[in-house]
Amino acid sequence: MTRLKSKSKKKTRTVIGRSDATRQRGRYSKKKIVVDDRHVDSSKLSGIRQGQGEPWDQGGLTPERIRSVKKNIMAQRRAQRRRMDEVRTASEALSHEIEQYKQVLDRSRLHLEVLHKLPAVAWTVTRHGSCDFVNQFYLDATGLSADYCTAPLKTGRKTPSDLPPFLSVLHPDHQERVSQIFWDGVRSGGGWTFEAPFLHADGSYHWHFDRAVPVRDAQGKVLRFVGSSSDIQELRSERDSLVDRERRLLAIIDGSPNPIFLKDPDGRFLLVNREFERITGVSRDQIIGKTEDGLSRLREAGALRTNDREVPLSGEVMLEELATTDMGTRWGAVQKFPIVDGDGRIYATAHFTTDVTAHKRTEEHLRLAEDQTRSILDSSLDAVITIDARDTITGWSKSAEDIFGWSCEEAVGKRIVDTIIPMQYREAHSRGCEHFLATGEGPILNRRIEITALHRAGHEFPVELTVTAIRLESWHFTAFVRDLTDKRRVEEALRGAREELTRVNRLTAMGQLSASIAHEINQPLTAIAANSDTCLHWLSTEEPDLTKARAAAQRLAKDARRASEIITRIKALMNKTPVEKAPLDIMDAIRDVMKLTQGEFRKHRITTLADLHELVPRINGDRVQLEQVILNLVLNSIESMMLVEDRPRTLSIRSRVLDDRMVEISFHDTGVGLDSTVADRLFDAFFTTKHNGTGMGLAICRSIIEAHDGQISATPGAPFGAVFQFSLPVADRP
């Protein structure tokens, strides 16, 4: 048997394959596969039986075995070609996929370049809150770096509420608010929206509007947040300006004293002002978006909408007058005009209402008011005279006829200077009128003055005059004149009665002090007699002691002067001495009265405590009258303490200077005191709390003090007694 030698060539083929690990990374590699045809099924060719280990030459080749070997070889070649086709197909698919990835990469690079060059801020934030991308516009605007913005979240973070680095340019005043919004949006996965000022690279703050939305996977899980930030500084400034203008406009509308409102073409209210609310009693919340038909208070106000539908159709301004409504009779002039938008379309009607109800009522009552005024003027006790700028009488009341003797027909048309002004004052009157017409100023306007007027019969008499001026088309004057003849006569009678009453009161007080006065005079008279005897004694000795006699004579002169002063003060109090105001020391007047009343104090065991300020300035007054006031108050205090046995009898006299340049004198006794309910009536004439009192003493005291521009009062003392005090103005320095 001839041995067959297999002839085969070693062939090396390269097969492109894809490993699993590489497939997962999306990258591909080539792997060489070496096939040696010489050893293909060599065991069969060599005749070795599987599992027997017999050499091929021992068994021999049969045609069946050869066909089987060839069949196996062909099957292996077909399988190899199929694998090559699969590899070729996979290679083509891979090439196509690589091409697609290249296109996606190119598009991503293009999108990234667009994001960087986009004239707006864009960024992305991970689902944990750290920034992983910011575009170049944001970096240029804020001056931050990309590395700083995308730094890990823990960089520079001190508390969990701190914001990530890319938001560090927020204004400090807004960081707490924005931090809460940001982290709430991250935790909830819903994103966030806020407005806040950002620091720009030029050092200025710009308001930005930031908004972020979540990006989710197919299962709805948040992958990251994509956001943008828009510079709204100009928009916000414009908005603030618009809001400010709208606020000022609404303030003007609300401040208008006239009702103002806007309606749309269907008659629904768009705006009402505060005056409309006040008049109608309907609030804005009740009326905005509704018509009059929807509100019972306005349902009957049909006149309010007479031309409401005509104005939008015609585009013309209309004016109408309102009649009676359910709010009462109201008259008003309503101006209606259309409001147009930017395209010129009418979208509302404005209503400006001027309430003329008062004007209507004034017109209705004007004639009645004129008649009533004439009736009042004619019934007035004062004469009312109206004069024009030419000094001509235009009005003459009934009282003017009675006071001046001129009838209305005779006086009207005459010049005032030729009727009631005495001859000696006419030139001054003419000059005053000319001065007023030239300057608008007059010395007698709006003042009460007492002057002399002229009667038609030719005699002069005193009057009180008040002149007012009003300018219409020209100046008009109104004079109110009161005849003072009867008043002067009564005043003279009252003055005489008051002086007589004052004198009687002095005499009454002197009667009460007669014992004290006798004691006061008896003291110096006794001293005079004693000193006279002493002087004579020293002169009648064999050797006269002239020194001692001279001393006794000096004491004699001093006691005589003292007695003379006492008599002089008593005489002044008793006589009808005329009132003469002059600068005086009120402290001296108090001391003089205290000297007169020393006997009464000793008699009734009363202690006097004087706290008299030595630097009290002088006052202007009549010494006799003021001493009478002091004497009356001192005697009242003595009388109130006569029956007191359970406490010391003390009269404290104090003086002080008040801040308003007034000198105050107070008398505080420890007597029976005052009832607070009658304290205000003590100074009324004929009111008294004494059994034998006339009720005129304190009334005269008040009259004297008020005549000196002062004040007098009485209050209950603390803890007992009463306090009487009066204050007088300080005399002006020369």
Q: Is pLDDT of 376 > 50?
A: yes
Kindly tell me the burial class for residue 616, based on how many C-beta atoms sit within 10 Å of its own C-beta (0-12, 13-18, 19 or more): middle
Q: Write down the pLDDT at residue 300.
A: 46
Q: Is pLDDT of 193 > 90?
A: yes
Q: Is pLDDT of 574 > 80?
A: no
Neighbouring residues of 547: CB distance < 8 A, sequence distance ≥ 6? none
Q: What is the mean pLDDT of residues 270-278?
A: 84
Token output for 466? 């008040």
Q: What is the dihedral of CA 132, 137, 142, 147, to 10 degrees?
A: 30
Q: Which of 26-30, 141-145, 159-163, 297-301 has the highest mean pLDDT?
A: 141-145
Q: Write down the pLDDT at residue 24.
A: 44
**Chain centroid to CA 488: how far?**
53
Q: Write down the pLDDT at residue 306.
A: 52
In tens, the pLDDT along 614-652 reads 778 888 888 877 887 888 888 888 888 888 888 888 999
* 367 contacts 349 by C-beta, under 8 angstroms: no
Residue 275's φ and ψ, nearest 5 degrees, are -65, -35
Q: Is pLDDT of 711 > 80?
A: yes
Question: What does the mean pLDDT of the chain come to?
Answer: 76
Q: Write down the pLDDT at residue 523.
A: 56
Tell me how far apart the alpha carbons of residues 109 and 527 are, in angstroms, rounded to a whole number: 137
Q: Please, which residues bridge with residue 311 across strands? A: none
CA–CA–CA angle 206, 211, 212 (5° rounding): 135
Q: What is the mean pLDDT of residues 233-253?
A: 84
Q: What is the mean pLDDT of residues 110-128?
A: 74
More confident residue, 448 or 729: 729
Token output for 601? 């104090």
The closest alpha carbon to 481, from 460, 456, 446, 450, belongs to 450
Rg over alpha carbons for the chain, rounded to the nearest Å, is 61
Tell me the pLDDT band of 341, cut-offs 50, 70 and 90.
confident
**Chain centroid to CA 482: how far?**
47
DSSP per-residue codes, 526-564: HHHHHHHHHHHHHHHSSS--HHHHHHHHHHHHHHHHHHH
Neighbouring residues of 709: CB distance < 8 A, sequence distance ≥ 6? 728, 729
Type of residue numbered 74: M
Q: Where are the alpha helices (DSSP H) in 143-300?
A: 146-149, 175-188, 233-255, 274-280, 284-287, 296-299
More confident residue, 112 or 344: 344
In tens, the pLDDT along 386-422 reads 888 888 888 888 888 888 888 888 888 888 888 888 8
Q: Is pLDDT of 568 > 80?
A: no
In tens, the pLDDT along 26-84 reads 444 444 444 444 444 444 444 444 444 444 454 567 888 888 888 899 999 999 999 88
In tens, the pLDDT along 279-306 reads 777 888 888 888 776 665 554 444 445 5
* 468 contacts 446 by C-beta, under 8 angstroms: yes
Neighbouring residues of 601: CB distance < 8 A, sequence distance ≥ 6? 607, 608, 638, 651
User: b/e string for 541-556 if b means 16 or more Cβ within 10 A?
Assistant: eeeeeeeebeebbebb
* 116 contacts 124 by C-beta, under 8 angstroms: no
Q: Write down the pLDDT at residue 178.
A: 93
Q: Write down the pLDDT at residue 207.
A: 92
In which residue are the tokens 């091409």 written?
A: 99
Q: 3-state class of 468 per DSSP?
A: strand
Q: What number of CA atoms fall less than 13 Å from residue 3's CA on the CB side?
A: 7
Token output for 307? 């031309």
CA–CA–CA angle 457, 462, 467 (5° rounding): 105
Q: Write down the pLDDT at residue 23.
A: 44
Token output for 342? 């930017």
Q: Write down the pLDDT at residue 20.
A: 46
Q: What is the dihedral of CA 194, 196, 200, 203, to 10 degrees?
A: -170
Neighbouring residues of 205: CB distance < 8 A, sequence distance ≥ 6? 171, 197, 198, 199
Q: Write down the pLDDT at residue 198.
A: 92
Q: 734: cis peptide before it, omega within 30°?
A: no
Q: Write down the pLDDT at residue 726.
A: 92
Q: Write down the pLDDT at residue 225.
A: 93
Q: Write down the pLDDT at residue 185.
A: 92
Distances (CA, A) of 678 to 536, 638, 703: 61, 20, 19
Q: Which of 295-309, 394-408, 479-493, 541-555 has the highest mean pLDDT?
A: 394-408
Tell me how far apart the alpha carbons of residues 600 and 511 are, in angstroms, rounded to a whole number: 13
